[in-house]
Structure 1
Amino acid sequence: MLGTKIRQLRKERGLSLGELALRADCAKSYLSDIERGVRDNPSIQFIEKIALVLEVPTEFFFDKSYTTAEMLANELAPEMIELVKQLDLGWLQLTQQAASSGLTKEQFQEFIEYARWKSSQSSGD
């Protein structure tokens, strides 16, 4: 699972294996082994370096509620895949956190409408 998440995020970011290894200051062969599942117990320092380069929290690799856009798209109906591809990972995770915290769609919509209203009040000053 760890290697899969790294590979999918790397591809979503448009990085080659070599580029990620270079930016994270690790051996390309070691990174390749992790991605392919040949090695499955990297150090926390390695994970922190990878997370920094891929711009995700370290918890992304340990918490099952964090997912990549590709993994989420595989779980969705075909008509939703294009929509998911247009959203960035942060928005998908925010929506997922709102739903898992018990926030209803109606409450979320009310919040959006309030935020729009508040913004229009501020710009009207």
Structure 2
Amino acid sequence: MDDTPDKLRRNLIFVSALTLAAWWLRAEPSGTLSILGTTLASHDRDRLWTAAGVAILYCGMRYHFSEGRRKQYQDSKAEYLRQIQKDVKNWIADQELAKRNRIARKSGSEVTFERSEIWIKLSENAT
């Protein structure tokens, strides 16, 4: 199957929305409904809801196990981890900067440290 992740997601949303709308509006089949040679009468309501549930499950599994979705998930996970690492480094730099400036003020020094100096030290320690 050569569906793209966008099409699979679109189909999942469409089938889910259609089923949810039918449920919310309490849609009842009138007369008979013929699908793929199977005739369903209006009293086969449970079979229709089961078929709709199976269709949602099928679309959901096709999307969930698609290669494009897996790649998209891995890319977003890697970006999330990079962002966490960046946030932790920024927090460490801020803490170190505050500590150094606090020590400098206590000793009566007029010197204040800049963030770039802290980043250089963090980069040297990381290697």
Q: As a proportion of its length, which structure holds more strand?
A: 2
Q: In which range does the TM-score fall when normalised by the shorter chain?
A: under 0.3
TM-score normalised by L of structure 2: 0.19
